[in-house]
Homo-oligomer: A and B are copies of this chain.
């Protein structure tokens, strides 16, 4: 999608030297467009762990390129063990996202079944490129399906502006292009539908304020930033027509793990009869578990993400402390929204009811 009027993706293989990839450093957004080169598996792990790249789909793509970089580093004698270590290293970076494990497994399978180190390298690169291309196409399809929902609401409102609330960044910056939750929004824009997006700032890391507001602005989408606390009030007053969020893991029963605070918005949507959708590639569905609240492990992150907030002051990025120095804080990264609160699950295959039956129907 667009940054300063130019088309970008979040990750790309260097055009002249295929031994490394480049990514947009999402920690510098929205204040600076900074490109970082990833030249080793350790740098790939660092980029995922420190959220240089973030968003479940992009984490998966980055991990796949990380496996490719591991094959470049491995020698003919230590290849198997090196690949295993790389797998473990990359898998340990973020525990909640299932795409990460999925992409790592895809890559590992291909590397293992290929003979000869040079061929392994080519195969690892090919699968990483493929996962990336597939992600773009999946996101595009998600948007095509989600567009139908927006179109319908627009029709019900006789073409009046459709107000969409979104939480965190399930945008193209979380993927490679298009995004998951935002893909429907970008497709609605292309279709000439009048839309306006309420952007939850999404504490503690403010991905809504720093990334979603940024990408919607660059794309020319009408939007308004709000505190995470505001959505319920807006819904009570008819100012929200639908909610679309992304997801880091969906259970076989349709429970949705997503950025902390998603569950609160789903409760408010239900209480005000507002449709609540989650959009993600089908690879996000974890068929091995059903009860998301009980079974999905929730990452606990550093408490300083709650105590300190980063932003721009006099042209420089600074962190400010918002509480007493010695205040203890807790920082769960995700919560789980039970399927009973979800109107539908949008994937590249179509829109499924958020239930075991609904998901099975689409994927049988």
* Residue A170 lies at the interface, judged by CB distance under 8 Å to chain B: no
Contacts of A322 in B (CB 8 A): 201, 206, 209-210, 309-311
How large, as a class, is the contact surface on chain A? 35 or more
B306 touches A261 (CB 8 A): no
Between A and B, 5 residue pairs with Cβ closer than 8 Å are: A224-B328, A236-B263, A267-B271, A309-B309, A311-B322
Q: Bound state CA distance, A203 and B106, in angstroms?
A: 42
Q: Which of B30, B227, B231, B232 is in CB contact (< 8 Å) with A204?
A: B227
A264 touches B313 (CB 8 A): no
* Residue A226 lies at the interface, judged by CB distance under 8 Å to chain B: yes
B328 touches A232 (CB 8 A): no
Q: Bound state CA distance, A247 and B155, in angstroms?
A: 40
| Min CB–CB distance A332 → chain B (angstroms) | 5
Contacts of A213 in B (CB 8 A): 323-324, 327
A interface: dominant SS = mixed
Q: Which of B31, B228, B311, B331 is in CB contact (< 8 Å) with A309?
A: B311
Instruction: Using CB atoms, name the residue of chain B closest to A212.
Output: B323
Q: Would A320 and B324 be within 8 Å (CB), given that A229-B261, A230-B260, A259-B229 are in contact?
A: no
Instruction: Using CB atoms, name the residue of chain B closest to A308.
Output: B311
Q: Which of B225, B234, B237 is in CB contact (< 8 Å) with A328?
A: B225
Q: Bound state CA distance, A358 and B248, in angstroms?
A: 44
Per-residue CB proximity of A45-71 to B under 8 Å, as 1/0? 000000000000000000000000000
Contacts of A293 in B (CB 8 A): 236-237
B320 touches A310 (CB 8 A): yes
Give chain A's interface residues, CB within 8 Å of chain B. 30-31, 198-199, 201-204, 206, 209-210, 213-214, 217, 223-234, 236-237, 259-261, 263-265, 267-268, 271, 293, 298, 306-313, 318-324, 326-332, 334-336
**Other 4 A-B pairs with CB < 8 A, given A201-B323, A204-B227, A230-B335:** A199-B327, A229-B259, A233-B298, A264-B267
B259 touches A336 (CB 8 A): no
Contacts of A198 in B (CB 8 A): 330
Which of A204, A206, A264 lies at the interface centre, i.e. has the most chain B CB atoms within 10 A of its CB? A264
Q: Bound state CA distance, A259 and B227, in angstroms?
A: 12
Q: Which of B225, B298, B323 is in CB contact (< 8 Å) with A329?
A: B225
Contacts of A259 in B (CB 8 A): 229
B306 touches A232 (CB 8 A): no
Q: Would A217 and B319 be within 8 Å (CB), given that A227-B203, A309-B311 are in contact?
A: no
| Min CB–CB distance A24 → chain B (angstroms) | 15
Sort A-B residue pairs by CB-CB distance and give the 10 closest, nearest first.
Answer: A229-B261, A311-B320, A233-B335, A267-B267, A225-B329, A209-B323, A203-B227, A232-B263, A264-B264, A311-B322
Contacts of A313 in B (CB 8 A): 313, 318-321
Q: Would A223 and B328 be within 8 Å (CB), given that A203-B229, A232-B267 are in contact?
A: yes
